[in-house]
Structure 1
Amino acid sequence: MKRLALILAAAAGVLPLTLSASDWNGFYVGAQFGAATYGTIWTDINYDWYGHSLNHAKDKILPGAQIGYNRQYDRVVYGVELDYRSGAKRSTRYDNDVYKTDELKSLMTLRLRAGLAADESLLYGTVGAARADVNHDWIEDGDVTDSWYGLDNNRLGLAYGFGLEHRLSKRLSARLEWLHAEIPGAKNRNQDGYQMEISESLDSASLGLNFHF
């Protein structure tokens, strides 16, 4: 967040005060399309398998949609946005007699946005809550009770990032946004009593279009 504050402060110093800003007040809806890296961390709590954490990452294409509301005071723009990104892609790895599957079905965030407007552009930072719909399997070949099936992680996480939005017309704008989401670990116990903890992360760069009312 300190880095984000420095970026916005630098922008305030660079953008001339004489530039007039577009009117960003009001509601908007839009669509987005982006590339993302989805990461999972499996932690063997009871030293059943390896006694440490396994990190795996997979690149994904995530389409999505967003709805939000802006308020503007002079060149300062602030507001709130709700967005949804669809994953729906499974990734399965086989290693040491174990089939490990990670699936990100979707990611939803509710975030505050705040930034500086100049001419037709808006440079902003964003922070808020994230929740992922995920599914995980850890299946040992030939040992049903020492496996984990259909694990989810419904814990509330943190999302933050920054973006640049530019007005194409009175009603239409385009934006480029980077977002990081972090979902804390959830513990799951198998039939043999061993625990595994799974946490999620997502880094995405997306291009979006918004329609302003």
Structure 2
Amino acid sequence: MRRLTLASAGFLALLSGPASAADVGAGLPMTAPGFDWTGYYAGLQAGYGWGQSDITGTGGGAFSSPDIDGGFVGGHIAGLWQFDQAVIGAEAELNYSSIDGTAEPEPGNVFGTDIKWFGSMNAKAGYAMNRVLVYGIGGVAFAGVETSQAAGPAFSNTRTNVGWTVGAGVDYALTDKFVVGAQYRYYDFGSEHYDGSNGFTDRDQDVKLNTVGINLSYKF
């Protein structure tokens, strides 16, 4: 929780960047004629994710590595500032996820990983060509990840993982208010420790995820 609180504070500072940058850069050349990307945005995104979860015992012994995949849907907010053709800003996203997978290293012993939700708080920088914006994005990532095992009796435990993300995308302004886009992201949610129960061994789980998605945003 402390890590998420610190990350949230950092994002709020980033999101205030467009307004602060506007004050500092009052004397700089502003956007060229055409669509102006400066503003605040809110919208929705959806897509598909795939990756892998490495589950190991506390003593370091490998348990299993389930492949994971599935869909997600969520929302985002952003603040951008443009000068000339450069665009900088901040963006936050939160997604509901059905990304999961299982592996059965031996008959009757099934390991599972389920990403129930994930999100991120990011810095964003890009190059605008009138209504087209090509950008890179990256920041702090977090997810609610469940680890499970069924070997006769069943065990499951959910923790909040915190890691990092990086990606790239392209946005297109359909009108002065509506923007559509596509994005690729890589997430490394890091390794989290899970306590076993009912005879199940304590374990660590390391989750990595790739996503591709589309987005629709409204500019205020």
Which range, TM-score by smaller chain? Answer: 0.7 to 0.9
Match in the other structure for 1:162: 168
| TM-score, normalised by the number of residues in structure 1 | 0.79
Shift of 1:43: 1.4
Counterpart pick for 2:156 among 150, 153, 158: 150
CA distance in 2, matches of 1:34, 1:210: 15
Unaligned ranges ≥5, structure 1 = 1-18
1:44 aligned onto 2:50:
no
Counterpart pick for 1:182 among 188, 198, 204: 188
Shift of 1:61: 1.4
CA distance in 2, matches of 1:114, 1:59: 29
1:99 aligned onto 2:106:
no
Identity of aligned residues (%): 19
Report how many residues are paired: 187
Match in the other structure for 1:30: 43
CA distance in 1, matches of 2:201, 2:189: 22
Shift of 1:135: 1.3
| TM-score, normalised by the number of residues in structure 2 | 0.77
CA distance in 2, matches of 1:104, 1:180: 14
Shift of 1:154: 1.8
CA distance in 1, matches of 2:200, 2:176: 60
What amino acid sits opposite 2:72 in the alignment?
L
CA distance in 2, matches of 1:74, 1:99: 55
What amino acid sits opposite 1:169 in the alignment?
T
Match in the other structure for 2:121: 110
What amino acid sits opposite 1:159 in the alignment?
T
Task: List structure 1 runs of 4+ shifted beyond 6 angstroms.
Answer: none
Q: Is the 8 A contact 1:36 1:202 kept in 2?
A: yes
CA distance in 2, matches of 1:20, 1:174: 21
Alignment of 1:78-97 (within 5 A): 78-88=88-98, 90-96=100-106, 97=108
1:56 aligned onto 2:66:
yes
Change beyond 3 A, Cα 1:189–1:33: closer
Q: Give the secondary-structure state (helix, strand or coil) at the position aligned to 1:24.
A: coil
CA distance in 2, matches of 1:177, 1:193: 39
Q: Give the secondary-structure state (helix, strand or coil) at the position aligned to 2:175.
A: coil
Match in the other structure for 2:29: none
Q: Give the secondary-structure state (helix, strand or coil) at the position aligned to 1:23.
A: coil
What amino acid sits opposite 2:38 in the alignment?
N
CA distance in 2, matches of 1:122, 1:89: 29
Change beyond 3 A, Cα 1:171–1:114: same
- The alignment yields a C-alpha RMSD, in angstroms, of 2.1
Unaligned ranges ≥5, structure 2 = 1-31
Change beyond 3 A, Cα 1:119–1:90: closer
